[in-house]
Amino acid sequence: MKLATWNVNSLNVRLGHVLDWLQANPVDALCLQELKLPDDKFPHEVLRAAGYHACWAGQKTYNGVAILSKTPPLDIQRNIPGYEDEQQRIIAATLTGPDGKPVRVVSAYCPNGQAVGSDKYAYKLDWFQALRGWLDEEIVRHPDLAILGDYNVAPADEDVHDPEAWAGGILVSDPERQAFRDLLELGFRDTFRLFDQPPRTFSWWDYRRLGFRRNAGLRIDHILATQDLAARCRECTVDKTPRGWEKPSDHAPVVATFHTA
């Protein structure tokens, strides 16, 4: 079973890339972030024609998340239960694995935080705390649970192209990294780090200053899996290919492959 995540930075602009990528990478589920479109503009018909069911939580201009899946999404949950938030950053659904076992999948667009110490930074940390509280319950209900998305946190210096330049800043500050570790401590693994990986593997590169060409990036898009699910993970990779296409998203897809029982 293959699960993937991709911050597309506008599904309107990137629909062609999504379809092309799915054609070449027919994953079982693809979590999307930053749709930047309202619910009624979600292109569910063209995705269905491409072989994918979908559930989504859209919003005009900003945010917005979706799960595209080969099997119909069940028990769809929008937002973090009990956490009042107009920003559409979470959607969850239960999918059916090739072996018939249910797998709970969450598509997450964690807040950016803008600048350490800002209001948006405080919101980011508060949001992570709410996410942790919810996942602490969700992990009990769903032994096979994966949280895929743009975490807007580079967990370690090896996930940063220039750790000295970024030290203490947004996306790498200690409280943000602690919030990420707090999620792991619930019983999740960062599937990317289950394996030997090429050094300087990133998932986002700044549009500015030719970030991609210089590989000046960060690894901020992650696939977290419960211990049970992680034990069946065979591979986790970043696909830089679409980052080289014309008018790319600034993020690349991350894909995790799971062995079925």
Partner DNA sequence: ATGGCGTACACCGTACGA
Closest CA to 68 of 9, 3, 138, 151: 3
Q: Considering the rule CB under 7 A, would residue 116 count as an interface residue with DNA?
A: no
User: Would you count residue 195 as binding DNA (CB under 7 A)?
Assistant: no
Please give, one letter per residue, the 3-state secondary structure of 103-143. EEEEEEECCCCCCCCCHHHHHHHHHHHHHHHHHHHHHHHCC
Nearer to DNA, 8 or 145 (CB): 8
Q: Is 112 annotated as a binding residue?
A: no
Q: Does 207 bind DNA (CB under 7 A)?
A: yes
Contact 146, 256 (CB under 8 A): yes
Complex with DNA: residue 202 or 258, whichever CB lies closer: 202
Determine the interface stretch with DNA among 92-100, 139-147, 189-197, 199-207 (rule: CB under 7 A).
Answer: 199-207
Largest pairwise CA distance in the chain:
47
Span interacting with DNA, options 34-42, 127-135, 181-189, 229-237, rule CB under 7 A: 34-42
How far is Cα 256 from Cα 127, in angstroms, rounded to an integer?
25
Question: How much of the chain is in helix, strand and coil states, percent to nearest 5?
Answer: 30, 30, 40
Say how many residues touch DNA, by CB under 7 A.
Answer: 30
Q: With binding defined as CB under 7 A, does residue 64 bind DNA?
A: no
Interface of this chain with DNA, residues 96 to 115, rule: CB under 7 A = 111-112, 114-115
**Catalytic residue status for 150:** yes
Q: Which of 4, 5, 6, 9 binds DNA (CB under 7 A)?
A: 9
Length of the chain measured in residues: 261
CB 256 within 8 A of CB 144: no
Least CB distance to DNA at residue 53 (A): 23
CA 38 to chain centre: 19
DSSP symbols for 70-110: SSPPEEEEES-TT---SS--EEEEEEE-TTS-EEEEEEEE-
User: Which candidate in 52, 109, 121, 151 is catalytic?
Assistant: 109
Task: List binding-site positions for Mg(2+).
Answer: 7, 34, 150, 152, 250-251
Which residues are known to be catalytic?
A: 109, 150, 251
Interface positions with DNA (CB under 7 A): 7, 9-10, 12-13, 34, 36-37, 60-62, 111-112, 114-115, 120, 150, 152, 170-171, 204, 206-209, 218, 220, 247, 250-251
